[in-house]
Amino acid sequence: MKLRLGVIKETCRLIREARKRWDAHENQACRRERQHAMASYEELTEAERKEVPEQLQVWLRYRSEKYFGEGQKGNGMSAKPQKAKKEKKLDKPPEHAVAHRKVMSPVGPLYLLSSKKGLCGLYFGHRIEVTELPKENPRDRFLSQAEKELKAYFSGGREKFTVSLDARGSPFQRAVWRQLSAIPFGKTSGYGELAEDMENPKAVRAVGTANGANPISIIVPCHRVIGKDGSLTGFGGGLEIKRKLLRHEGVLLKAI
């Protein structure tokens, strides 16, 4: 049987487009493009599939399954049943935290953590392992300042935070967190933009990973990072909280 070169070429194009969205951390768009690529891949014969570069097949058939689900029988994808999702582990407080305080907010309870040098953590109540928190301290100056500034932020009287920060991470993570802090109130940025601002445009996915590791939510505004197509993308506190924070800041979002 004669190979359909045009169909093979189009399949490769679709897979590359899905990977492009993947590299840009645009999960919603990647999922859509991957579905198109999978549908086209299903139409190929065994002989035609061999003409698709191995690296494209590996990405489509295995690596992307971790995030978007496994394939079905008959399409050349893995036919193994999906494993039950593991319960997401709660975040552990930073090792250098010496005190904590629980405060209430319009997005639920927040746990503030301080070190001897500044605020070292701000976690949403459903994401932190409270049994491992350091002692409460009603007199800690960093916690008191952070609580006061958060109250002003949620009441509409503050757009910038001035409390001293002591977030610990790798040099790359800290560089990403500095870029996050530079995103103005009421504005958003994308993972690609952050990578370009850091003069490292190929580090889009690494930027996304560092963004997700940010230990000081809201004050270091990782919620201001959205997909290139305007989608919310992932957020440790949950998309509903991210949506509330952005709406509070006056950001107009698409399709929400």
Residues involved in catalysis:
222
Q: Dihedral of the CA atoms 164, 168, 169, 174 (nearest 10)?
A: 10
Residue pointed to by tokens 């006061």:
148
Q: Are 185 and 160 in contact (CB under 8 A)?
A: yes
Which strand (E) or helix (H) includes residue 192? Answer: helix 191-197
Long-range contacts of 101-105 (CB under 8 A, 24+ apart): 101/136, 101/137, 101/138, 101/140, 101/143, 101/147, 102/136, 103/147, 103/150, 103/151, 105/150, 105/154
Q: Are 127 and 236 in contact (CB under 8 A)?
A: yes
What's the sign of the alpha-carbon dihedral 151, 152, 154, 160?
A: negative
Kindly state the tokens that stand for 30: 């990647």
